Structure 1
């Protein structure tokens, strides 16, 4: 078994001069960084006093699931001889919050729109490729909630 390590740095930048003396005294802003990559501005969701112009962890989790599925799907399509010419996903994640403030994701639904350059018979293969991508995606295999997909496809003529 091979092991892969990921070591980004998360630096809080939201100290407004008083630190965390109260829940509204500090910002949720932070920077996610890693060697040789552009910084990613982060915050909490605006519902949790965050900055809506920055990425929040919930969005990043949903985006990670979408990215993982797409990358596996593209690789599986290439191996199956299916030529994908366009791919866009509009995923949604549903998180439930408990009265005390804790919460968890209930589900994520991916909505990939795939364009293929081929004949009509390739459309039958796409659902199986999406199923396999969902089964092998590292991120989807690591979460404890369902990751569904509702894919659409069209032929690039």
Structure 2
């Protein structure tokens, strides 16, 4: 198995005129040294110019599906030349009445170099990618794949 490490750092920065008096901006430092500026979502007093945890989760689901799809397609002899996804996530109340990402919808657009899978083969590739995506298997939100032609 694998372990993954992320360092989160935050420093108090006053928010003049706000009763809660703390900023939401912070940094995510990933294992490879990459640092991302993060914040709460704008609806929760965050900085719209920074990544928020909700976007990070949706990106992780989309990225995991794509990487799993690419591996499965290669294994079956299909060469993907490009992959783009306009993923969306919904924040709402879960079954326990708590705020959560309750759904993620992936909208992959995929181009192939050479032979492309039939519609049925493409559906099976997406089903298998979803079933084997580590991140989708780790969350309770419903994840749907709606390929775009």
Q: What TM-score do the two structures reach when normalised by structure 1?
A: 0.84
* Partner Cα separation in structure 1 for residue 93 and residue 117 of structure 2: 44
Which of 126, 147, 150 is matched with 2:146 structurally? 150
1:82 corresponds to 2:88: no
1:56 corresponds to 2:52: yes
Q: Which runs of 5+ in 1 are unaligned?
A: none
Question: 1:47-101: per-residue Cα shift (whole Å, max 9, x none)?
Answer: 0000000000000000000000000000000000111111000000001159xx9
Give the 3 Å change call, closer, same or farther, for CA 52–97 of structure 1 in structure 2: farther
Give the 3 Å change call, closer, same or farther, for CA 121–114 of structure 1 in structure 2: closer
User: Match for residue 5 of structure 1?
Assistant: 3
* Partner Cα separation in structure 2 for residue 119 and residue 31 of structure 1: 43
Which of 13, 30, 33 is matched with 1:16 structurally? 13
Aligned-partner SS, 2:130: helix
Which of 113, 120, 123 is matched with 1:117 structurally? 113
Once the 2 structures are TM-superposed, how far is the Cα of residue 127 of structure 1 from its aligned partner?
A: 1.1
Q: CA RMSD in A?
A: 2.1
* Partner Cα separation in structure 1 for residue 93 and residue 43 of structure 2: 11
Once the 2 structures are TM-superposed, how far is the Cα of residue 125 of structure 1 from its aligned partner?
A: 1.4
Once the 2 structures are TM-superposed, how far is the Cα of residue 120 of structure 1 from its aligned partner?
A: 5.7
Q: Contact 1:82 / 1:122 at 8 angstroms: preserved in 2?
A: no
Q: Contact 2:78 / 2:115 at 8 angstroms: preserved in 1?
A: no
Question: 1:116-148: per-residue Cα shift (whole Å, max 9, x none)?
Answer: 123465443111101000000000001112100
* Partner Cα separation in structure 2 for residue 121 and residue 86 of structure 1: 14
Aligned-partner SS, 1:82: coil
Q: Contact 2:93 / 2:99 at 8 angstroms: preserved in 1?
A: yes
* Partner Cα separation in structure 1 for residue 103 and residue 19 of structure 2: 32
